[in-house]
Structure 1
Amino acid sequence: MKFSNDNSFAERRKSAAKSKQDLLAKFKSAPKPTDPDMQERLAARDAVAAARTARRAERDASKAEENNRLLIEVAAFAMAAEAQEKAEAEARQAEIDARASRIVADEAARKAERDRRYAARKARRA
Structure 2
Amino acid sequence: MFTALLVIYLLAAVGIIGLVLIQQGKGADMGASFGAGASNTVFGSGGSGNFLTRMTAIFAIIFLVTSLVLGNLSTNKTESKWVDPTQGQTTLEQQASDNAAPAASEVPAEKSSSDEIPQ
TM-score, scaled to structure 2: 0.34
Q: Which has the higher helix share?
A: 1
Larger Rg: 1
TM-score scaled by length of structure 1: 0.32
Answer 1 or 2: higher relative contact order, Cα 8 Å, separation at least 6. Answer: 2
